[in-house]
Amino acid sequence: MSVEFATCTYQYRRGPVVLDRLSFAFPKGRTVLLGPNGAGKTTLLALAASALKSRSGTVSFGGLNPAARSQLRAYRRQVGWMPQHITPVPGMTCQEQVAYAGWLKGMSRREAWDAALEALGRVGLAKKAAQQASALSGGQLRRVGVAQTLVHSSRLVLMDEPTAGLDPAQRATFRKVVEQLSESADVVVSTHQTEDLSEVYDHVVVLLEGAVPFSGTVKEFYALAPTDTASGRLAEGAYTAVLGGGEAW
């Protein structure tokens, strides 16, 4: 299995409980995480990235527990995290911002600098390496965010809505990146876009109100769609079926 949650509970201050004693392990390979707004997807990925700490229970990956201070640095070196919102660092070029992410993960400055250019190349931004990150378009900045998850050769890559704001050509580049990543890392992507499921992912996980009503292969997910569903809308039909017939998004 990939990242694992054992009876994890999380509640934002003065807010409702988002996850309540959730026990679940993501499968290995390429997994898409689906769920309506407010289901807890961002919280779940942030816990897996150690950006948040569960109120109770444990998160683990590769035998490492980020709640143990002696294991936190090693855990974070193994995990690449792209949050939903990517912010350009004032005064930094694209290569500097990606290299900085690598340095924070424990890479040497030289190692991070060289790896940053390679990571930018993988997302089609090598020619923008010397440009100020703050001057990029929204879609380009999101690709910088993807590059930041690639720079330190992580074994687990977590991405929260990475294709939001990307045009069709940029999404095609993203699909290639995910395919390449799966050769060396487990990948979990949270998204609302289901048109590429069968082309990109091995598994589907649906999160609803902090629980997991479905986890299985893409083929098993499609099989949940009503028999009269058009072939091009199988993902939508299956998703609506998992949610009990309610609104999909």
Distance CA 184, CA 47 (A): 22
Domain ranges of the chain: 4-86+155-242
Distance CA 84, CA 106 (A): 23
pLDDT of residue 248: 44
Closest CA to 143 of 168, 113, 164, 157: 164
Residue pair 188/45 in contact (Cβ under 8 Å)? The answer is yes
pLDDT of residue 1: 62
Distance CA 114, CA 149 (A): 15
pLDDT of residue 249: 39
Per-residue pLDDT of the chain (249 residues; tens, 9 = 90+): 689 999 999 998 888 899 999 999 999 999 999 999 889 999 999 999 999 999 999 999 999 999 999 999 999 999 999 998 899 999 999 999 999 999 998 899 999 999 999 999 988 899 999 999 999 988 889 889 989 998 988 899 999 988 877 788 888 888 888 888 788 889 999 988 777 788 889 999 999 999 999 999 999 999 999 999 998 899 999 999 999 854 443
Distance CA 71, CA 68 (A): 5
Q: Which class in CATH covers the domain with range 4-86+155-242?
A: alpha beta
pLDDT of residue 213: 95
pLDDT of residue 123: 86
